[in-house]
Amino acid sequence: MGDYEWSRCMRKSLLLAVVFTTMVHSQVLNDARVLLAGKMEFGLSAVHVNGNDVQSARIGIGVVRGADAECTVSMDRDKIIVGLNTEIALRYRPDISITLGGQYQKSQQGANAALTVSFPLNRFFSLYTGFTGNVILSSGSTQTPVWYFSGINSFLSRGVELFIEADPAIASTANTMFAGGLRAYF
């Protein structure tokens, strides 16, 4: 490996390390596909939990081959949750990825992890499923909500997809959630 290639590899590794140490994200609403380097994603979604609707906007960018980073802003009734997550591809066809992140809002912080598997059905639809969990630190207490999730993507056009997802609670500290939204890719 030449000096230029080594330097480039080190810069990318440093960027990923910075992303991992500053991650904040509230909930992973995503399939296992990872953005290609330089490609972007913009998504809008709504999450229904305990009779409350949370709106969320996210933007993602492919960082290196096999890894992307996303920034999310979610708005609840009286709070804003800001976050980042990093997704790393583990396998292609079926797509398997691991997502690491966290969350930050005014009164609590936490970390998030998810393991996701996507199954393309045809060029218009794919199914995805997996597990996600949080560790939330709030005013000296710790909660560990865990979910199983399952969803379907419908590709409306070449660069736009619709998704619907259900997140049944596994742990007693979690609430069952339903989500849906649109994603656009550039």
Here the CATH number for the domain that contains residue 104 is: 2.40.160
Pairwise CA distance, residues 56 & 76, whole Å:
9
Pairing of the two strands 160-167 and 95-105: unpaired
Bridge partners, 173 (sequence order): none
Pairing of the two strands 80-91 and 141-143: unpaired
pLDDT tens for each residue of 48-106: 887 888 889 999 999 999 999 998 888 877 777 787 888 999 998 899 999 998 877 77
Q: Is the pLDDT of residue 161 over 90?
A: yes
| Higher-pLDDT residue of 68, 6 | 68
Q: How many domains does the chain have?
A: 1
pTM summary value:
0.80
Bridge partners, 40 (sequence order): 61
pLDDT, position 11: 56
| C-alpha atoms less than 13 angstroms from C-alpha of 89 in its C-beta half-sphere | 18
Mean pLDDT is lowest, of 4-13, 74-83, 96-105, 112-121, for: 4-13
Pairwise CA distance, residues 177 & 16, whole Å:
30
Containing structural domain, residue 51? 3-185
